[in-house]
Chain A
């Protein structure tokens, strides 16, 4: 495969060398979409500890890291399994005071990343009405005045993760990342971070990137390492390649809430490679179903008689 510029390809099992203990990690994905789960599973295998994930809309990615005992704090707008319930480990750890949380409103957290990306100390935004979040987080929100009109505004402090971890549809060896579907706020998380690690569904040649530069959302000069990880968002979606493995997420919600079953579940992930994980959790028929789900839901059309 021809590649221009530096070759940044590394195998998944070298992730721990890129993410030191204690890192503030900006995680990609949002909703039940495209969280960088292959990388998260690898962090669990390697026992990278004292992590502080930051994510506007986190889910099982944060919950699994908390459940593995690898998290000291979380900066978040939301941590949810949506239809599959509250995130069991996140919920328990906060209730029992095991982890320090920084709860932020979603746009403010997006702006914190954006300010970090611009090396600005903060970005201004309008006030939040009755929300008590700004008062709860005086290290991140401050009341300021518009220097031109004097109007009340909020300042949101810049957030600069040590490492961004995001999952792309495809990437070149030099790190150019393309997204076919859900990019969440991956580009901003990548732009704000000191180091950017990308996992992707497939590695492609420079010709592919140069033939479709409009698809590139994170250019290679921002990226430090590229890791090939097919089904790297599983059990979350990576549209249009696969839909939600809701069965896996449902089973996770149950096992994560069960202190007896949890250690075995965790040990299994630790003991297997990512390739073994794929073979175990996604046998051929299941893989096909998950892929079909990305095509199964229909788009609808308004018809004249409907009004």
Chain B
């Protein structure tokens, strides 16, 4: 079956979710939500998932208006935010965290705060809420980008909202931190950093992508191994689950749209969601 690049990325992220630790829905990272639901519907049905105040929530259909309501239905507990963040983020129980920053650099620092100087920004962005703590304390960190350009993958971030340090296994163990790498997943490639001595290296290339294309569009130096495998492509079952059950409205494609396309895209989703909810009144 023909797949889209966002679907390939979703499946790659889903691979990192297993039943060994807790994964939390971060703030507005719809592609990551789709990955977590996919993992729970396939290889990791008992992976504990937290969304909002819903603890050990079931996998849910993604939508712009009602995913949260579905998360509370079938959750195993309701906890205040401070209970879940203290227990998971700071309790060495966090497994996978996805961030979707405006910028990231070769040190692993990411920026969700400002474009331009901090005091007089050109663009004030939303901020990172718990991401500085999460990125530092979880086992695995994944930053994903809807486009692979030097504007996102920069030489140096304008401001480090957060960033994992240390990264090396030994240094993390010594400080009692969970050991795991930082990945960057883009429409071209998967990059990985697992040592403080080295920058990101190319872990895999998506089908049809060359090393040169990745290097040319990355604002920081990359380690290029001699042999680079191809990223696995989605299976038919994965694509079916994503399109028919997990994300029938296509919310997870949001990160791949240009700003000018978004308004129309949202309008279309909302029209479909309205129609479905309206029909429930008639029933």
> B81 to A184, Cβ gap below 8 A?
yes
How many residues of A are counted as interface, with CB atoms below 8 angstroms from the partner's CB atoms? 81
Q: Is A226 an interface residue (CB 8 A)?
A: no
What residues of A have a CB within 8 angstroms of the CB of B131 in the complex?
105-106
Contacts of B120 in A (CB 8 A): 95, 97
> Are the CB atoms of A95 and B121 closer together than 8 Å?
yes
Instruction: Across the A-B interface, give the 5 residue pairs with the lowest CB-CB distance, nearest first.
Output: A130-B163, A106-B130, A297-B66, A106-B129, A80-B126
Task: Flag if B124 contacts A83 (CB, 8 Å).
Answer: no
- The answer to whether B59 and A240 have CB atoms under 8 Å apart is no
Residues of B contacting A110 in the complex (Cβ-Cβ under 8 angstroms): 81-82, 85
Q: Is the CB of A296 within 8 A of B277?
A: yes
- By a CB distance below 8 angstroms, the chain A residues around B62 are 297
**CB within 8 A of A106: which of B30, B128, B254, B267?**
B128
B277 touches A293 (CB 8 A): yes
A interface list, Cβ under 8 A from B: 30-33, 56-57, 76-80, 82-87, 90-91, 94-95, 97, 103, 105-108, 110-111, 113-114, 125-133, 136, 151, 179-188, 217, 237, 239-240, 243-247, 250, 285, 288-290, 292-303, 305-307
Given the known interface contacts A129-B163, A187-B80, A293-B273, the answer about A307 and B42 at a Cβ–Cβ threshold of 8 Å is yes
Distance (whole angstroms) from the CB of A238 to the closest CB of chain B: 10
The residue in chain B whose Cβ has the minimal distance to the Cβ of A132 is: B160
Name 14 interchain pairs, CB-CB below 8 A, sorted by A: A56-B81, A56-B129, A83-B262, A106-B132, A110-B82, A128-B132, A128-B136, A136-B118, A181-B53, A237-B69, A243-B277, A298-B70, A299-B58, A299-B60
User: Is the Cβ of A305 less than 8 Å from the Cβ of B273?
Assistant: no
Binds A, one of B106-114, B185-193, B213-221: B106-114
Q: A303 to B237, alpha carbons, bound, how many Å?
A: 11
A33 to chain B, nearest CB (A): 6
- A184→B136 CA distance, assembly (Å): 22
Given contacts A131-B160, A243-B65, A302-B41, whether A183 and B130 have CB atoms under 8 Å apart is no
CB contacts (< 8 Å) of B108 on chain A: these are 130
Residues of B36-85 at the interface with A, using a CB-CB cut-off of 8 Å, are 37, 40-43, 45, 52-53, 58-70, 72-74, 78, 80-82, 85
Residues of B within 8 A of A126 (CB): 90, 133, 136-137
Distance (Å) between the CB of A300 and the closest chain B CB?
4
Give complex CA distance A295, B74 in Å: 13
Question: Hey, which chain B residues are within 8 Å of A239, CB to CB?
Answer: 68-69, 72
B165 close to chain A: CB less than 8 A:
yes
Given the interface pairs A246-B270, A306-B241, A307-B42, the reply to whether A129 lies near B135 with Cβ below 8 Å is yes
Q: A186 to B66: give the CA distance in the assembly, Å.
A: 21
Complex partner residue of A80 from B27, B64, B132, B162, CB under 8 angstroms: B27
CB proximity to A under 8 Å, residues B205-247: 237, 241, 245-246
Q: Complex: how many Å from CA A301 to CA B74? A: 11
A129 to B110: give the CA distance in the assembly, Å.
11
Scoring A78, A126, A129, A132 by chain B CB atoms within 10 A of each residue's CB, the highest score goes to: A129
Output the nearest chain A residue to B62 by Cβ-Cβ distance: A297
Closest chain A residue to B271, Cβ basis: A247
B63 & A296 in contact (Cβ 8 Å cutoff): yes
**Cβ–Cβ contact B277 & A299, under 8 A:** no
Q: Which chain A residue shows the least CB distance to B283?
A: A292
Return B267 CB to nearest CB of chain A, in Å: 8
A97-B120, A126-B136, A183-B80 known; A83 vs B90 contact (CB < 8 Å) = no
Instruction: Name the one of A132, A179, A243 contacting B159, with C-beta atoms under 8 angstroms.
Output: A132
